[in-house]
């Protein structure tokens, strides 16, 4: 027996009786009506998967107008219910009108039992598939809201950060490409998320790509996708980040790490708004809002022929410069309090407060790692503190304080300083810095993450 509810509407009692007897052992529920005026009440009382609807209810009338009227009414009350018109008067024009109004199929009287049963079961399957699609769309929307609901609050009251917020408000509603610049740890991805949140694409995904974490050989596959068998280890089709971000926003972090060989391809994608996966000749249209970020001197890279000038202009319709934390004054205390509340909850601690001397110590620090360093510093303090009021001793500024006091350097401290020096000399270019240090690009990237440089 099919788990489905069927409603039959026909003024012919003999036809209703025959249909009920035939269908009652095939479906979970079979209800009948002789008066179509009761249809609205019946649909409001119970959910039906399929309505088998006669097209004529007045004696001597065979135009099907009444059936078309009730078909519209059923679809208004219960749009997901499948309607199968049934009539003794076969008319191609009438059938076409019914299908245009949302009917699933059309059955002629006298009906063939097996054909009628197959038609109703097909309508039931269609109803279930439509319900599944609606459910998946609902879940997709919920997932997008969840992914886009990450904490994107930009905390701060300083003149510098208010200027950034005003600029975000101006550009978010456009589709202009945006380049976010600033030191490591200043919150460039946070700004990208806020731009997306305020944009007309907010209901779609913001897809983030860390360009510094992708091996050079995989850049093209990661961005544009590939077809199965396109190269060794391409065991299945892969959807590129541009396709994933279709209708949404694409955030390319550390854009300065994009190899020259791929810069022309990225430029072509931005100009033509289409991608070609590796191993395919098919051009796939993409509709994305591009947001990029870098801590590199892009103009310096252009002058050294390490970055295409035309691509930079394409990326840089609007530039947003994020100020370093050391220039944001009282924002340090606001951010510290913000992170304190987050980590209180995470580590099940309550009523923690920043002492006056602790705040003074935080404000005096130069914060080379910017907001990210402050976040890590607060987290460590929350974990290690033994009092409700955090004191200066609860805050440890890792390696920098030791270096200032001329204490002996550990091997890790020396390694960090060498990496920082190489990055400075190479204007933040990972490939050049890795070559200078004699390590692979991936190793260098891992070290940067480890030391929070």
Q: Which residue has the higher pLDDT, 413 or 325?
A: 325
Query: Worst-scoring range by mean pLDDT, 46-60, 125-139, 155-169, 395-409?
Result: 395-409
Architecture label for domain 403-453: Orthogonal Bundle (1.10)
Q: Domain-by-domain residue ranges, the chain?
A: 2-138, 159-322, 324-396, 403-453
pLDDT at residue 277 tops 70? yes
- Say what the pLDDT of residue 151 is: 54
The pLDDT tens digits of the residues spanning 30-69 come to: 999 999 999 999 998 888 999 999 988 887 777 888 889 9
As a dihedral over the C-alpha atoms of residue 338, residue 254, residue 275, residue 249, rounded to 10 degrees, the angle is 20
In tens, the pLDDT along 161-208 reads 999 999 999 999 999 999 999 999 999 999 999 999 999 999 888 999
Topology alike, domains 2-138 and 159-322: yes
Q: Which two tokens stand for residue 419?
A: 């990496």
In the prediction, which pLDDT does 143 show? 62
| Architecture of the domain defined by 2-138 | 3-Layer(aba) Sandwich (3.40)
Q: pTM of this prediction?
A: 0.62
pLDDT score at 403: 35
| Cβ neighbours for 378, distance < 8 A, ≥ 6 positions apart | 336, 339, 340, 343
Alpha helices in 173-229 (DSSP H): 188-197, 219-224
pLDDT (0 to 100) of residue 453: 76
Handedness of CA 358, 359, 361, 366 (dihedral sign): positive
Q: Which helix (H) or strand (E) holds 294?
A: strand 289-294
Q: What is the mean pLDDT of residues 407-417?
A: 69
User: For domain 324-396, which architecture applies?
Assistant: Orthogonal Bundle (1.10)
- The torsion defined by the Cα of 231, 234, 236 and 239, in degrees rounded to 10, comes to -80
Please check the confidence at residue 90 and state whether its pLDDT lies above 80.
no
Class of domain 159-322: alpha beta
Residues 381 and 395 sit within 8 Å (Cβ to Cβ): yes
pLDDT confidence of residue 405: 39
- Neighbouring CB atoms inside 10 A of 13's CB total 10
Angle at 323 between CA 185 and CA 422, to 5 degrees: 50
């Amino acid at each position: 027996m099919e788990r489905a509810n069927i409603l039959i509407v026909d003024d012919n009692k003999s036809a209703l009786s025959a249909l009920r007897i035939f269908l009652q052992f095939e479906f979970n529920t079979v209800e009948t009506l002789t008066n179509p005026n009761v249809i609205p009440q019946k649909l409001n009382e119970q959910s039906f998967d399929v309505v088998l609807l006669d097209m004529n209810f007045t004696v001597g009338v065979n135009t099907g107008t009444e059936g078309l009227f009730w078909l519209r009414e059923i679809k208004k009350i219960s749009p997901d219910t499948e309607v199968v018109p049934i009539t003794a008067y076969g008319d191609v024009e009438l059938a076409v009108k019914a299908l245009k109004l949302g009917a699933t199929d059309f059955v002629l009287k006298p009906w063939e039992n097996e054909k009628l049963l197959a038609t109703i079961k097909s309508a039931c399957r269609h109803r279930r598939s439509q319900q599944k699609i609606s459910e998946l769309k609902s879940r997709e929307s919920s997932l997008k809201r969840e992914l886009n609901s990450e904490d994107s609050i930009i905390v701060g009251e300083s003149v510098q950060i208010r200027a950034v917020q005003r600029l975000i408000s101006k550009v978010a509603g456009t589709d202009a490409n945006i380049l976010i610049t600033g030191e490591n740890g200043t919150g460039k991805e946070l700004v990208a998320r806020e731009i997306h949140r305020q944009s007309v694409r907010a209901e779609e995904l913001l897809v983030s790509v860390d360009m510094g974490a992708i091996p050079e050989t995989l850049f093209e596959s990661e961005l544009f996708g590939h077809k199965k068998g396109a190269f060794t280890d391409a065991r299945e089709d892969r959807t590129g980040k541009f396709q994933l971000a279709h209708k949404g926003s694409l955030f390319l972090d550390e854009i300065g790490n994009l190899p020259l060989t791929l810069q022309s391809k990225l430029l072509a994608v931005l100009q033509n708004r289409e991608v070609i996966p590796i191993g395919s000749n098919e051009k796939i249209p993409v509709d994305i809002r591009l947001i990029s970020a870098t801590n590199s001197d892009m103009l310096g890279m252009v002058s050294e022929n390490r970055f295409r000038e035309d691509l930079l202009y394409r990326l840089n319709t609007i530039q947003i410069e994020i100020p370093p934390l050391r220039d944001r004054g009282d924002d340090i205390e606001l951010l510290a309090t913000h992170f304190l509340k987050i980590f209180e909850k995470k580590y099940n601690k309550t009523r923690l407060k920043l002492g006056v001397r602790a705040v003074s110590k935080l404000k005096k620090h130069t914060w080379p790692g910017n907001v990210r360093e402050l976040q890590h510093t607060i987290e460590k303090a929350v974990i290690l503190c033994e009092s409700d009021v955090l004191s200066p001793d609860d805050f440890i500024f890792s390696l920098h304080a030791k270096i200032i006091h001329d204490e002996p350097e550990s091997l890790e401290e020396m390694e960090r300083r060498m990496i920082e020096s190489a990055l400075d000399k190479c204007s933040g270019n990972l490939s050049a810095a890795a070559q200078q240090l004699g390590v692979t690009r991936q190793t260098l990237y891992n070290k940067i993450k480890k030391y929070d440089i």
